[in-house]
Structure 1
């Protein structure tokens, strides 16, 4: 089966579960997304819910069940904001590369049409951990005020996509306000996550915080904020999980 044929076969499989998406209809979120960082400021990533699934399921094909399972680092609402044309997504991969070699990221527009000619292929690391997947600059940039439906799957069975482990959620690009840009200009790069978090911009806050921890691994404030950040969206089981890929 060719890669592009597999791509659309997988896409049809996903959409058979998600169905037609109605925009503007809120789904109830699971829990409050308020949290308190070490800066003693309160932040909120709660908002309108979207159909999605941030955690993978049971054993399928060559993907045995794990605890924790394949997980997308996103809020319970399944929707996160970004100001970036080419944002970064973060996922927990529970397998060694000797078990599962490859993953794929697909991105659909509001009409559920692919915006990528082919899925982004992700080569997995030798050990389980949290990895990043950045939308490449060769792709079409995200448009302002548009929501996109993304799908991330582990290729457990290249001949039968229904056996692949998968998660899916939403991302929306918003315009950074003049106040936000001013605040970013007045903060050190490793602390910009506080500004993004205060403005409810999930993807940028998460990426900035992880980059800060990578640059300053002994900074206890960043470590504490990482812990509280994950607890705020009920992902505390990943606090001690290694971050394998930080690009």
Structure 2
């Protein structure tokens, strides 16, 4: 069984609707990874490089999936969102796809890349097939070097599994339209990675200079072995 991961979140007593947090409170929030054995996520699979051949640097990875390294992430959403770090690259587009456990493609699209390095969000649209309950899916995000998808294209990959939300959690809090650290805390306690990360990412993007949110985000990524990119900006393509 994977050990319980604890992280500290600094959060406001409000729902962070304003541009600052006037009253900061220290709270301990447990992120509980799923107990079941699941495949790990990866980047730059096989013999593929981490960059397009025309890229100038090889010093750091151009692609990093924002998922735990030791277990597949869970989601409660039929159409979840996924985060990927895209480093400096000459590619202007990427190819994103989701496959079921039979390796049948369920959805694919081209994604415009930002002009500067950062963490981007990919949304599974409402008209895409819904993720089925208790089924593990794999997703792939490949750089289109020279605007082409090739066998050696750099790629980030991850796994996700849709599960039902625990009835013990506050449905009212989770139904709030405005993202809050309280929401992220509840999802974290339930071991729901994708929603926990997505909520904190939304708060981080909305308030990039907020130290409390920045520390919460840093703790979450550190628990997943992603501390190297915890200070990277969250950008819009």
TMscore range, shorter length: 0.7 to 0.9
For residues 68-89 of structure 1, the C-alpha deviation after alignment (integer angstroms, 9 at most, x for no partner) is 4310000013510001111110
Is the counterpart of residue 229 in structure 1 residue 220 in structure 2?
yes
CA RMSD of aligned residues (A): 2.6
Match of 2:120 in 1: 131
Q: Please give the alpha-carbon distance, in whole angstroms, between the structure 2 residues aligned to 1:161 and 1:218.
A: 39
Deviations 1:163-217 (A, max 9, x none): 2100212100111122224363597731211111111100000001111223344
TM-score normalized with structure 2 length: 0.79
Please point out which of 206, 216, 228 is paired with 1:215: 206
Find the residue that maps to 2:169 and give its secondary structure. Answer: helix
Question: Mind listing any 5+ residue stretches in structure 1 that lack a counterpart?
Answer: 1-27
SS in 2 for 1:208: helix
| Of 170, 177, 192, the match for 1:201 | 192
Unaligned runs of 5+ in 2: 10-26
| 1:190 match | 180
- Does residue 36 of structure 1 match 2:27? no
Do residues 61 (structure 1) and 58 (structure 2) align?
Answer: no
The structure with the largest strand share of the pair is: 2
Normalised to the residue count of structure 1, the TM-score between the two structures is 0.76
Matches within 5 A, 1:65-214: 65-96=58-89, 99-116=90-107, 119-157=108-146, 161-182=150-171, 184-185=173-174, 189-191=179-181, 192-214=183-205
Q: Structure 2: how far apart are the matches of 1:146 and 1:167?
A: 20
Kept in 2, the 8 Å contact 1:35–1:42? The answer is yes
Give aligned pairs, total. Answer: 213
**Does the Cα contact within 8 Å between 1:54 and 1:74 map onto a contact in 2?**
no
C-alpha separation in 2, matches of 1:101 and 1:60: 11
SS at match of 1:86: coil
Q: Matches of 1:95 and 1:149 in 2, distance apart?
A: 25
> d(CA) in 1 for partners of 2:225 and 2:115?
27
With over 3 angstroms needed to count, the CA separation of the structure-2 counterparts of 1:186 and 1:144, relative to structure 1, is closer
Q: Where in structure 1 do 4 or more consecutive aligned residues deviate above 6 Å? A: none
Local SS of the residue matching 1:225 = helix
